[in-house]
């Protein structure tokens, strides 16, 4: 505020000194003040509104967060009550051990204070009972205050949350209640009673930490809306809560509606913020007005001095022209800088390209133009010049666009001269020394390169040694003084004859260099191999000046070469033959057998079962130990004439010795089976890893080759054995299997279908058939979209023939996406044309398609693109989807429900039927699998399961549809049990769109 008053006073003083004979200045000042005041008012309103909006937005987020916490605590109470309900149903109403089981439930749900059993509406048991003994025996249906809600819950058969009430022990508590129905206890009266739970309001507030809102200067009120008298009843409220200035968040709980309201402790926007904002804007307005006033007055002052400035300018231009001509003669860069580090003047030579390397512009500080590394050199030069008068010899580097330049800096300091009204300044001269630096660098590089790890000998034209490097001394043991002036033959090994050296010098004289392997001798007499390269150095007139020889010791290379040969043919871990050697041996064996038709042999392909899981659990080191032990056992099982090879990872292959099949054609296969049985028997004994026993199984595939049968190559034989191994795994693992031609046919069929399905997608060979769905009156209420493949050669292909291959190749994801879009578009077109407007379209979704992260987005895209009413689309999901990551399934289902589509659970009762998760899933329809419908009759297990599914669906407010209805008796039985919808060949087969329209339109 003091600063604001000072600004107002300063403006007033300036206005008093203003020459009021200049009305233009006065007009500009007044208009500026008015304009800036209006803009200031707009800015104040904008900032105030934005601050208030952000405060309320934050409060809304907090209300949502804490409301979720309250709903979760209420859900815990419902979950605890539901467990007691399951307990009562499981015991068929007999609750002798209620206290012990209730104690166990309360330990899991600490939010709950008490659990109550109310058979036939009469309070019978309470745990814990202390303080509530007088409640025992109260009849809910006979109490005027409790009868209405009890009857409502009894008739609705749904869970409810009661309004907070004062209990016997004066505790203010919330109650939840679930009616219990036990099938079979009474034909006319399956209703058993209620199970209830209570938890204190204060405990609910503490557990949800509503009091933490005070840290954000927020007050809260938790209230219940009552429909009868249309009022809100306060459940809990902080002292400073203000209902007139609050935001609200509604919670929807079973049978009640709660509201969480938040208000600010004082106000959404503080008075201090308003005062500070108003003061700041007012100060800015006055400052801007002052600036306008000064600019206007300055305008008139300049007009007086204009002529004088013009005269001085002409004189200065003449002086500058002379100075510029003088400076142009200097090839370097001149810069004048004042004592504060601000550039006063600069001058480039005729080489204008220097400007991009040192962009030093007048009135800019050195700190703004130079990076820290260069600036430190300039500052050091200024220090030296200030103390000594001049500074020379400092250099720096500038990098630009993958290029660089070096500059040498010279500086002169000129002190202040008051008599001439001259301030002190520095004069810098920057000289480009890039070429000099590069030349020096090349010399250093040459010196460093000479001291390489390879030995170097330089001789004169007479082949006398004049220079060696340190690597030469290290390799040979000779020092430079010992070999200087001598012939390189001093290190000759004597292994090479004169003819060798004659050819060497012939190559030098002819092409100027020679390269090859040579043996030489060290000073201690040891002989070693080296790789030698000799070049002849000539001058411009082709006269020989020097020989330069470089060489390196290749003793280790020789050793490594031998090791590489071993690695090329043997597995490093087990020392068994690797795949390369095995294929060569198998190719050789196949070649021999082609000439001797009476010989046959076999190979065994072995894969360890679940080895990856074991390797991940125990670590790769122990996994390697296990592989080594497996290799050892396999070698012990076979004969020395047989070959055991490790192909890769945990895959081994055994090549058995040839067998003469002249007498017994099955001799080779018999021996292969015998070896496989021995291996499987040997694997029954546990392996020992670091003192711990570990049992692992193996799957073995076998195939014969040779004699009258012909195979294309070794790879083909191995593939046959591998296919047999996979067949053994699919049959249950830990067993052996011989290759059969149908295994290859299965592979060929899979490849054929995968290729054909990709082609079918590209050429739009798929179409949809529609199977009608009926209600109890056999009126059409919906249809299920079923895919068909119009194959160009095979005709109409049913889904059961190609869907397994589509799932195996993951093409089911693209096919499912096409079905989803096509079915939605068809339903939308029907609605536009006025047909089947009240019917639903059911669409099957595969587990693989549903598991995609963007599945919900795919559904939204299909709905938006087609414009179909989401409530007429029903997605059929299978129970198998509930096995993995149930939380993700629930999240996706909730997202689908938000889009408005219906969800049906297909094949219910055949897979993962968890009733606890069924209560959490937003399912609209249960579909009874046709396996139960096909065997319906009173008293069978299938009929009992079907009836149970119908009861479960209805109790959970779900619609129930039966598929596979082929007989009238099945329809009548399901109808008598209360089934809602029906589908099957007995009512209507799947049909194309035109046939469906012709029959039911």
The CATH number that applies at residue 787 is 3.20.20.450
- Residues comprising the chain, all counted: 1001
Q: What is the reported pTM?
A: 0.40
Are β-strands 527-538 and 513-521 bridged in parallel, bridged antiparallel, or unpaired?
antiparallel
With tokens 């069924």, the residue in question is: 918
Domains of the chain: total: 4
**Can you tell me the distance from the alpha carbon of 1001 to that of 995, in angstroms, rounded to the nearest whole number?**
10
**Can you tell me the distance from the alpha carbon of 395 to that of 405, in angstroms, rounded to the nearest whole number?**
11
Residues 731 and 772 in one domain: no
Residues 475 and 515 in one domain: yes
Which among 184, 164, 331, 177 has a CA at the least distance from the CA of 232? 164
Classify residue 146: in a domain, yes or no.
Answer: no
Classify residue 593: in a domain, yes or no.
Answer: yes
Other C-beta atoms within 10 Å of 869: how many?
Answer: 17
- What 3-state DSSP class applies to 623? helix
Classify residue 782: in a domain, yes or no.
Answer: yes
Residues 955 and 910 in one domain: yes
Residues 914 and 773 in one domain: yes
942, 935 contact by CB (below 8 A) = yes
Classify residue 562: in a domain, yes or no.
Answer: no
574, 631 contact by CB (below 8 A) = yes
What residues have CB less than 8 Å from 983, skipping those under 6 apart?
A: 771, 772, 773, 774, 784, 961, 962, 963, 964, 965
> What's the token pair of residue 293?
């006033």
Is 757 exposed, middle or buried (CB count within 10 Å of its CB: 0-12, 13-18, 19+)?
Answer: buried
Residues 404 and 541 in one domain: no
pLDDT at position 8 = 44
Classify residue 62: in a domain, yes or no.
Answer: no
607, 650 contact by CB (below 8 A) = yes
Residues 900 and 983 in one domain: yes
**Can you tell me the distance from the alpha carbon of 998 to that of 1001, in angstroms, rounded to the nearest whole number?**
6
CATH number at residue 456: 3.30.450.20
Instruction: Count helices and strands (H / E) in the chain.
Output: 29, 37
Name the CA radius of gyration of the chain, rounded. Answer: 48
Classify residue 781: in a domain, yes or no.
Answer: yes
422: DSSP letter: B
| β-bridge partners, 606 | 652, 700
What residues have CB less than 8 Å from 43, skipping those under 6 apart?
A: 281
Residues 867 and 725 in one domain: no
Classify residue 309: in a domain, yes or no.
Answer: no
Residues 956 and 872 in one domain: yes
pLDDT at position 349 = 59
The secondary structure of 966-1000 as a DSSP string is: -SHHHHHHHHHTT--EE-STTT---B-HHHHHHHH
Residues 620 and 729 in one domain: yes
Residues 917 and 962 in one domain: yes
Residues 591 and 673 in one domain: yes
150, 118 contact by CB (below 8 A) = no
**Can you tell me the distance from the alpha carbon of 722 to that of 349, in angstroms, rounded to the nearest whole number?**
80
Q: Quote the domain boundaries for residue 644.
A: 570-739
Classify residue 613: in a domain, yes or no.
Answer: yes
CATH number at residue 642: 3.30.70.270
Print burial letters for 481-518: b (CB count within 10 Å at least 16), e (below 16): eebeeeebeebebeeeeeeeeeeeeebbeeeeebeeeb
What residues have CB less than 8 Å from 180, skipping those under 6 apart?
A: 85, 88, 89, 191, 192, 193, 194, 195
Cis peptide before 128 (omega within 30 of 0): yes
462: DSSP letter: T
Residue after which a domain boundary falls, among 492, 511, 545: 545
- Show the low-confidence residues of the chain (pLDDT under 50): 1-8, 11-12, 15-21
H or E stretch covering 86: helix 23-90
431: DSSP letter: E
Residues 866 and 992 in one domain: yes
Give the ranges where 646-740 is alpha helix by DSSP (H): 667-682, 714-730
**Can you tell me the distance from the alpha carbon of 64 to that of 54, in angstroms, rounded to the nearest whole number?**
15
| β-bridge partners, 214 | none
84, 102 contact by CB (below 8 A) = yes
């Amino acid at each position: 505020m003091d600063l604001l008053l000072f600004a107002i006073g300063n403006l007033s003083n300036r206005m008093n000194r203003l020459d009021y004979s200049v009305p233009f200045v006065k007009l500009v000042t007044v208009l500026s003040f008015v304009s800036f005041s209006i803009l200031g008012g707009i800015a104040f309103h904008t900032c105030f509104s934005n601050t208030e909006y952000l405060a309320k937005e934050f409060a809304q987020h907090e209300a949502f967060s804490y409301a979720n916490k309250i709903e979760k605590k209420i859900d815990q109470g419902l979950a605890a009550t539901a467990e007691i309900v399951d307990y009562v149903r499981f015991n068929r109403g007999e609750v002798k051990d209620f206290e012990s089981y209730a104690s166990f439930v309360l330990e899991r749900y600490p939010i709950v204070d008490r659990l109550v059993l109310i058979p036939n509406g009469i309070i019978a048991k309470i745990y814990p009972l202390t303080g509530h003994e007088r409640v025992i025996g109260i009849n809910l249906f006979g109490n005027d205050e409790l009868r209405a809600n009890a009857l409502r819950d009894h008739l609705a058969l749904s869970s409810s949350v009661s309004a907070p009430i004062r209990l016997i022990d004066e505790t203010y508590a919330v109650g939840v209640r679930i009616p219990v129905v036990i099938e079979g206890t009474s034909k006319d009266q399956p209703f058993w009673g209620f199970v209830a739970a209570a938890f204190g309001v204060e405990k609910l507030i503490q557990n949800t930490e509503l009091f933490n809102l005070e840290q954000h200067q927020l007050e809260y009120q938790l209230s219940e809306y009552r429909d009868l008298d249309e009022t809100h009843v306060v459940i809990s409220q902080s002292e400073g809560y203000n209902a007139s200035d609050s935001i609200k968040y509604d919670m929807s709980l079973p049978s009640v509606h709660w509201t969480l309201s938040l208000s600010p402790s004082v106000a959404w926007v503080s008075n201090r913020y308003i005062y500070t904002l108003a003061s700041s804007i007012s100060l800015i307005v006055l400052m801007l007005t002052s600036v306008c006033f000064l600019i206007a007055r300055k305008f008139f002052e300049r007009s007086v001095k204009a002529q004088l400035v013009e005269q001085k300018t002409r004189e200065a231009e003449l002086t500058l022209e002379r100075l510029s001509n003088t400076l142009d003669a200097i090839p370097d860069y001149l810069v004048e800088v004042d004592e504060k580090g601000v550039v006063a003047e600069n001058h480039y030579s005729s080489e204008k390209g220097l400007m991009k390397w040192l962009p030093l512009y007048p009135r800019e500080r050195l700190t703004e133009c130079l990076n820290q590394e260069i600036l430190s050199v300039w500052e050091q030069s200024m220090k030296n010049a200030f103390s000594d008068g001049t500074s020379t010899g400092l250099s720096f580097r500038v990098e630009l666009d993958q290029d660089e330049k070096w500059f040498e800096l010279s500086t002169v300091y000129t002190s202040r001269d008051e008599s001439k009204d001259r301030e002190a300044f520095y004069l810098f001269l920057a000289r480009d020394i890039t070429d000099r630096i590069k030349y020096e660098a090349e010399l250093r590089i040459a010196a460093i390169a000479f001291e390489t790890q390879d030995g170097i000998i330089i001789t004169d034209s007479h082949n006398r040694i004049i220079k060696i490097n340190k690597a030469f001394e290290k390799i040979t043991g000779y020092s430079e003084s010992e070999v200087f002036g001598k012939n390189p033959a001093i290190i000759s090994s004597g292994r090479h004859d004169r003819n060798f050296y004659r050819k060497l010098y012939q190559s030098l004289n002819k092409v100027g260099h020679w390269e090859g392997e040579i043996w030489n001798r060290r000073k201690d007499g040891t002989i070693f191999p080296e790789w030698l390269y000799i070049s002849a150095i000539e001058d411009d007139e082709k006269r020989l000046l020097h020989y330069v020889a470089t060489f390196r010791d290749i003793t280790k290379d020789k050793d490594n070469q031998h090791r590489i040969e071993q690695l090329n043919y043997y597995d490093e871990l087990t020392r068994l033959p690797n795949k390369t050697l095995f294929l060569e041996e198998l190719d050789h064996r196949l070649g021999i057998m082609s000439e001797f038709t009476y010989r046959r042999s076999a190979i065994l392909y072995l894969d360890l079962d679940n080895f990856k899981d074991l390797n991940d659990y125990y670590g790769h080191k122990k996994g390697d130990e296990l592989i080594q032990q497996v290799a050892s056992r396999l070698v012990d099982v076979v004969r020395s004439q047989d070959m055991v090879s490790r192909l890769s990872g945990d895959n081994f292959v055994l090549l058995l010795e040839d067998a003469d099949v002249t007498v017994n054609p099955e001799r080779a296969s018999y021996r292969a089976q015998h070896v496989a049985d021995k291996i499987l028997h040997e694997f029954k004994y546990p392996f020992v890893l670091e003192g711990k026993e570990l049992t692992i199984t193996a799957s073995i595939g076998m195939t014969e080759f040779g004699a009258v049968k012909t195979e294309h190559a070794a790879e083909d034989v191995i593939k046959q054995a591998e296919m047999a191994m996979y067949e053994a795994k699919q049959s249950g693992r830990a067993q052996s299997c011989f290759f059969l031609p149908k295994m290859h046919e299965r592979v060929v069929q899979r490849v054929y279908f995968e290729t054909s399905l990709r082609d079918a997608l590209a050429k739009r060979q798929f179409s949809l058939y529609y199977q009608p769905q009926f209600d109890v009156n056999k009126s059409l209420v919906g249809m299920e979209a079923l895919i068909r493949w119009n194959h160009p050669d095979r005709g109409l292909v049913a889904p059961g023939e190609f869907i397994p291959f589509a799932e195996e190749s993951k093409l089911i994801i693209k096919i499912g996406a096409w079905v989803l879009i096509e079915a939605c578009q068809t339903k939308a077109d029907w609605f536009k044309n006025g047909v089947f407007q009240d019917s639903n379209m059911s669409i099957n979704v595969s587990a693989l398609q549903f598991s995609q992260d963007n599945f919900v987005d795919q559904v939204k895209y299909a709905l938006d693109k087609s414009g179909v009413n989401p409530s007429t689309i029903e997605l059929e999901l299978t129970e198998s989807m509930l096995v993995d990551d149930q939380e993700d399934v629930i999240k996706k289902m909730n997202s689908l429900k938000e889009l408005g589509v219906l969800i049906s659970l297909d094949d219910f009762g055949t897979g993962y039927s968890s009733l606890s998760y069924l209560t959490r899933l937003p399912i609209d329809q249960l579909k009874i699998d046709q396996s139960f419908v096909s065997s319906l009759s009173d008293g069978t297990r299938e009929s009992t399961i079907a009836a149970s599914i119908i009861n479960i669906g209805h109790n959970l407010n779900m619609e129930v549809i039966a598929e596979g209805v082929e007989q009238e008796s099945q329809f009548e039985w399901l109808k008598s049990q209360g089934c809602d919808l029906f589908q099957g060949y007995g009512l209507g087969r799947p049909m194309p769109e035109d046939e469906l329209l012709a029959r039911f339109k």
